[in-house]
Amino acid sequence: MSAVEAVGLQKRFGDTQALCGVDFEIPRATVLGVLGPNGAGKTTAVRILTTLLKPDAGRAIIDGIDVVAEPRKVRSRIGLTGQYAAVDERLTGYENLELVGRLFHLPTKEAKSRAKDLLERFDLVDAGDKYAKNYSGGMRRRLDIAMSLIARPSVLFLDEPTTGLDPHSRNAMWELIEGLVADGMTTLLTTQYLEEAEVLANDIVVIDHGTVIEHGTPAELKARSGGERIEITVGESAELEKVPGVLSHLVRDGAQPWIDVETLTVCLPVADSVGIVPASVRALDDAGVVVRDVVVRKPTLDDVFLDLTGHTASEESDTDDGSDGTDDSKDRKHRKDRTDRGDAANEPVSAGKELS
């Protein structure tokens, strides 16, 4: 029996169908990465599974218990860390942990001793007696996750656990989550960061506009998106448009080039990477295009996302309350020209951690 089963989940908010029949399951002691842009419906799915929201249709089962029929039974088996670090700022770290332990109806002694253990495990001992309002963002998230673990849940829900963290805290958070997973914690992790799902998840479902558009292991998803890519960086933006034409004989059939005007880079899925670098440089040189850099790389999940949805994961910026879904422009230009890409993990060209 899977630890978590979602069957045909549907939810509508006003005019917006936030979930249009979402199915997935999470085998025990595995991590499911739910991947999608803002507004895809990830949080809505998490809120249904954690009893915060009732589905319009479909069933959600945790440990064999229906979340709608027996919400309180389900609540005693889950830990939820939402998008906000939900700590009481007026209390200390220790008090926050103890509070949640008490509200889980642990015996007082047990709540206290587990609170102390968790402070130690999450590197918060020194901060344990400080008010949470003085914590850094990373410390808050750690405290938040520790609070979710105090009753030793059988399923942990992490809704975008690294959103808003600096790269250093994000790496630390990944380490922490990897540790939980190594100990056999069944986890549902939502994320907008493809790299994060690649690193942490056993299985991935890709959600867009309330629908599961792809499902598989990170390796399967990458295999499905085809072979390697070549990335050409040129000298001037005027030359960007020329590149796909010049190199059309090298591009995999039916594949779309992707032009990033900001970094002056063209990304082309190629049929065969052997000898591709000299061949492309030669062709571009003949055509009078100044080449500044050439990189051959394996596909990342961002490429998968682009193939599936026509936009990258970072290209939609609606709030993730399901309010999106009405204006899918179906922009198939494969052109990434937004300027607000402040985040390394959103970069399609970032090498990321390759899965072994």
Partner 1 sequence: MTAVTTTIPATSPPREAASGLIWLFRDTWTEASRHLRATLRNPDLLVFATIQPIMFVVLFVYVFGGAVSVPGYDSYEQFVVPGIFAQTIVFGSVYTALGIAEDMSKGFIDRLRSLPLYQPAVLIGRTFSDLLRNVFTFFVMLIVGFAVGFRLLGGIPKAILATLLLLAFAWAFSWIQAYIGLSVNSVEAANSAGFIWMFPLTFISSAFVSTETMPDWLATIANINPFTIVTNATRALYSGNDPGNDVYWSLLWAAGITIVFSMLSFRKFNSASN
Considering only 23, 57, 69, 123, the residue that binds partner 1 (CB under 8 A) is 123
* Minimum distance from residue 50 beta carbon to partner 1 (Å): 5
3-state secondary structure of 219: helix
From the list 102-110, 239-247, 284-292, 299-307, the region that binds partner 1 by CB under 8 A is 102-110
253 is an interface residue for partner 1 by CB under 8 A: no
172 is an interface residue for partner 1 by CB under 8 A: yes
* Minimum distance from residue 134 beta carbon to partner 1 (Å): 13
Residues 172/178/180/183 CA torsion (nearest 10 deg): -140
Considering only 4, 31, 60, 176, the residue that binds partner 1 (CB under 8 A) is 176
What string marks each residue from 60 to 89 as x (binds partner 1 by CB under 8 A) or -? ---x--------xx-xxxx-x-xxxxxxxx
Rounded Cα–Cα distance for residues 149 and 175 (Å): 16
* Minimum distance from residue 310 beta carbon to partner 1 (Å): 30
Considering only 9, 61, 180, 259, the residue that binds partner 1 (CB under 8 A) is 180
Rounded Cα–Cα distance for residues 62 and 33 (Å): 17
From the list 178-186, 229-237, 270-278, 309-317, the region that binds partner 1 by CB under 8 A is 178-186
Per DSSP, helices labelled H in the chain are: 42-49, 71-75, 93-103, 108-121, 137-149, 167-182, 194-200, 218-224, 242-246, 276-286, 301-309
* C-beta separation of 43 from 319 below 8 A: no
- Bridge partners of 206, per DSSP, are 35, 214
154 is an interface residue for partner 1 by CB under 8 A: yes
- List CB contacts of 211: < 8 A, sequence separation 6 or more: 20, 21, 22, 41
What Cα–Cα distance (Å) separates residue 151 from each residue in 118, 147, 294?
11, 8, 52
Rounded Cα–Cα distance for residues 264 and 146 (Å): 44
51 is an interface residue for partner 1 by CB under 8 A: yes
Considering only 48, 149, 205, 276, the residue that binds partner 1 (CB under 8 A) is 149
* C-beta separation of 353 from 178 below 8 A: no
Q: Closer to partner 1 at the Cβ: 78 or 313?
A: 78
91 is an interface residue for partner 1 by CB under 8 A: yes
Considering only 121, 130, 334, 335, the residue that binds partner 1 (CB under 8 A) is 121
Residues that bind partner 1 (CB under 8 A): 47, 50-53, 63, 72-73, 75-78, 80, 82-91, 95, 99-100, 102-105, 120-123, 138-139, 142, 147, 149, 151-154, 169, 172, 175-176, 178-180, 182-185, 321
